[in-house]
Amino acid sequence: MSYLNITEVESAVTSLATAYPGTAQLITLPDPSIEGRTAHALQIGRPAPVPKDCVMLIGGVHAREWGSCEILVHFAADLLEALQAGTGLGYGGISFTAQQVQDLLLRLDLVVFPLVNPDGRLHSQTVDAMWRKNRNPANSGGSSNPDCIGIDLNRNYDFLFDFPTAFAPTATPQVSTSPCDRYVYEGPSAFSEPETRNVRWLLDRYPRTRWFVDVHSYSQDMLYNWGDDENQSDDPGMNFRNPQYDGKRGLPGDAYAEYIPKDDADTALELATAFCQGVQGVRGTAYKPLTGFHLYPTSGTSDDYVYSRHFVDPGRGKVLGFTVEWGVKSFHPPWAEMEKIVLDVDAGLVQFCLATA
């Protein structure tokens, strides 16, 4: 076995919906990719008499991070197979009982979207292995420079999108306004890309989403809010919506820090820690729970966008945002190692979902 191509990822998703009609429902995303591909996700859960809270998991955002799709496909397949067979799950040195699997899928709905960026993944797997962005040619202008194609989808969400205004002049957020930046061009506007609009559509369609996990590579971390600056829970007025603090964000150890209620900060750390404990139980691999900012400052990311939504519009439910960074040193490790990483991360995700209770 080896990494899945984009046809195989889509086939796996649709096959799971067909094989488990009582607990898996195929979701067709509304916006085709730039190259015309329609994406699909799965809703997984046991029927329940009352509406359930939801964990949303996405992957395959950055094209070169091949293993993210496999992690989510196997995660979905493991849970569905265990539920139907009435068995538990075992991942190396950690296991989950059949009752835990049943309770998880009775208490929660899971929305699993393994391949957000099909065009980019195809290009990475067939042309340029280190390709990161989507394949939007809008800014190429016929240029011979291939770097002028594409948008970094994990900078295209509506969170501090105008980062030159929001951040301090000396801050160095990992984002760019240059259309020919090979890696982190944010795009002409928030949600300019069909791939990020599909994620937003899922959030709107599943308003009981309470937890969101974006699977990326690499650094062996479990990141949680916020990514634009350090956290603080004392001054609610010091926040991303307040223009008084424009030009002051993004620096460690200074006067500005991003507001997060203490209960949310504590819960986010607890869930991130549970994920890391699940990973470590498989074969002893140590992942770290930390805020996104402590990896590097960012704007326009999925995890901060999903958490910011209920501050911008109090009518929306609160969604805690997380980003998994699996693996080290390679975006596509040898398959024998990637198989082990899949087990690590899937155990972490099961432990994360159980901890939401």
Name the one residue in this structure whose structure tokens are 């859960």.
45
Residue 181 in this model has a pLDDT that exceeds 70: yes
Q: How confident is the model at residue 143 (pLDDT cuts 50, 70, 90)?
A: low
What is the structure's pLDDT at 114? 98
Query: Does 342 map to a domain?
Result: yes
Q: Across residues 278-287, what is the average pLDDT?
A: 98
Q: 205, 201, 193: which is closest to 161 by C-alpha?
A: 193
Q: What is the pLDDT of residues 190-218, one digit of tens each?
A: 999 999 999 999 999 999 999 999 999 98
Q: 145, 154, 149: which is closest to 117 by C-alpha?
A: 154
Q: How confident is the model at residue 50 (pLDDT cuts 50, 70, 90)?
A: confident
Phi, psi of 18 (to 5 degrees): -70, -40
Report which DSSP code applies to 292. G
Cβ-based neighbour number of residue 28 at 10 Å: 10
What is the structure's pLDDT at 132? 97
Q: 10, 230, 233: which is closest to 119 by C-alpha?
A: 10
Query: Does 153 map to a domain?
Result: no
Query: Does 330 map to a domain?
Result: yes
Helix (H, G, I), strand (E, B) or coil at 176: strand
Contact 293, 172 (CB under 8 A): no
What is the structure's pLDDT at 341? 98
d(CA 353, CA 350): 5
> For residue 217, what are the β-bridge partners?
326
Helix (H, G, I), strand (E, B) or coil at 190: coil
Query: Does 143 map to a domain?
Result: no
Residue 244's identity, in one-letter code, is Q
Q: Looking at the whole model, is its pTM more than 0.75?
A: yes
Q: What is the pLDDT of residues 285-333, one digit of tens each?
A: 999 999 999 999 999 999 999 999 999 999 999 999 999 999 988 899 9
**Percent of residues, the chain, with pLDDT higher than 70:** 99
Query: Does 165 map to a domain?
Result: no
Name the one residue in this structure whose structure tokens are 């209770």.
357
Q: What is the DSSP string of 38-69?
A: PPEEEEE----SS--EEEEEEE--STT-THHH
Handedness of CA 203, 29, 324, 218 (dihedral sign): negative
Choice among 278-282, 326-330, 340-344 with the minimum mean pLDDT: 326-330
What is the structure's pLDDT at 145? 82
Q: Is 86 left (phi over 0), alpha (psi -120 to 50) or beta?
A: left
Report which DSSP code applies to 317. P
Q: What is the pLDDT of residues 85-99, one digit of tens each?
A: 999 999 999 999 999
Helix (H, G, I), strand (E, B) or coil at 85: helix
Residue 141 in this model has a pLDDT that exceeds 70: no
Helix (H, G, I), strand (E, B) or coil at 228: coil
CATH code, domain carrying 303: 3.40.630.10
DSSP3 helix / strand / coil % (the chain, rounded to 5)? 40, 15, 45
Q: Where are the beta strands (DSSP E) in the chain?
A: 24-28, 40-44, 53-59, 89-91, 94-96, 108-113, 209-217, 221-224, 231-232, 258-259, 288-291, 320-326
Q: How confident is the model at residue 1 (pLDDT cuts 50, 70, 90)?
A: low
What is the structure's pLDDT at 78? 98
Query: Does 183 map to a domain?
Result: no
Choice among 61-70, 130-139, 201-210, 255-264 with the minimum mean pLDDT: 130-139
Q: Tell me: cis bond preceding 218? Omega within 30 of 0 counts.
A: yes
Cα distances (angstroms) measured from residue 210 to each of 43, 116, 236: 15, 20, 21
Query: Does 110 map to a domain?
Result: yes
Contact 340, 235 (CB under 8 A): no
Q: Across residues 280-288, what is the average pLDDT?
A: 98
Contact 173, 163 (CB under 8 A): yes
Q: Which two tokens stand for residue 265?
A: 């900060």
Mean pLDDT of the chain: 96
Residues in the chain, total: 357
d(CA 216, CA 214): 6
Q: Which two tokens stand for residue 354?
A: 């159980």
Count: domains in the chain: 1
Query: Does 115 map to a domain?
Result: yes
Q: What is the pLDDT of residues 257-273, one digit of tens each?
A: 999 999 999 999 999 99
d(CA 217, CA 212): 16
Residue 150's identity, in one-letter code, is G
What is the structure's pLDDT at 193? 97
Residue 48 in this model has a pLDDT that exceeds 90: no
Range of the domain at 294: 6-136+206-234+260-355
Residue 12 in this model has a pLDDT that exceeds 80: yes
Q: Across residues 57-71, what is the average pLDDT?
A: 98
**Percent of residues, the chain, with pLDDT higher than 90:** 94
What is the structure's pLDDT at 142? 63
Handedness of CA 308, 311, 313, 318 (dihedral sign): positive
